Amino acid sequence: MKRSVRNILAQLTVVLGFIMVAASFSQSAAPDQKVPLHPKPEQVPAGAVLPQAKALPDLTIANIEFSVVQETTWGTGHPCKIFNLVPTVSNIGNTPAGPFTVIIERNKGAGGAFELACPACAYSLPGLAKGESRTLEPRQFNNCTSEDWNTFRVTADPARAVNELNENNNTMTRSFPQSRPGQRPRP
């Protein structure tokens, strides 16, 4: 009987020791106490263990710039413009990004689908350092056709070759202002 009581006491001592060690390592906010995602120091309870951000790149299109190269007229004498589209891609993540592509697509207008805007509208990049931005070579277009093909979409890493913090911020869409009579510019 003495032996079994000793065994039980020894087991209880071990279990209590584990509980005390676990409690000292996992002191954090009480379940009813919310800690914001990016807390200020006074919002963090003493001894709280905060999650660390994943170490990943995050590619995004930082800007799409249009610049007019030439003003001209088309077939019926309506004014139109030849313009450059210049995209800028950034890595806003916390690690470098490996190789990826950037593509420029153009909308076929009237609710049409986006398609690759030109044969040279796919850029291959060797990567981007953490915090780096790169302005890519311009691609030239015009708004001289009778079609409404002036909405462009630029996408970084369309094939999702780079594992990122946020895969939902890789695209930016912009429209070049119309210059034909009866059509108003888009925001």
- Name the residue ranges covered by the structural domains of the chain: 2-43, 59-175
**What pLDDT is stored for residue 40 in this prediction?**
60
- pLDDT tens for 51-102 read 666 899 999 999 999 999 999 887 777 788 889 999 999 999 999 999 999 9
Percent of all residues in the chain with a pLDDT value above 90, rounded to a whole number: 47
Supply the mean pLDDT for the chain: 77
Residue 3 pLDDT > 70, yes or no? no
Q: What is the pLDDT of residue 74?
A: 77
Q: What pLDDT shows up at residue 43?
A: 62
What per-residue confidence (pLDDT) applies to 54?
A: 84
Is residue 183 over pLDDT 50?
A: no
Encode pLDDT of 93-137 as tens digits: 999 999 999 999 998 766 678 999 999 999 999 999 999 999 999
Phi and psi (nearest 5°) for 21?
A: -65, -45
Pick the CATH number of 59-175 from 1.10.10.10, 2.60.40.10, 2.40.50.140, 3.40.50.720: 2.60.40.10
Q: What angle do CA 153, 159, 163 make, to 5 degrees?
A: 110
Instruction: Name the more confident of 133 and 145.
Output: 133
pLDDT 10s digits, 20-44: 434 443 444 445 555 455 556 566 6
Average pLDDT over residues 1-15: 51
Q: Are 35 and 44 in contact (CB under 8 A)?
A: yes
The DSSP string of 117-145 is -STT-EEEE--B-TT-EEEPPPEEEE--S
Look up residue 13 and give its two tokens: 């001592």
Task: Say what the pTM is.
Answer: 0.67
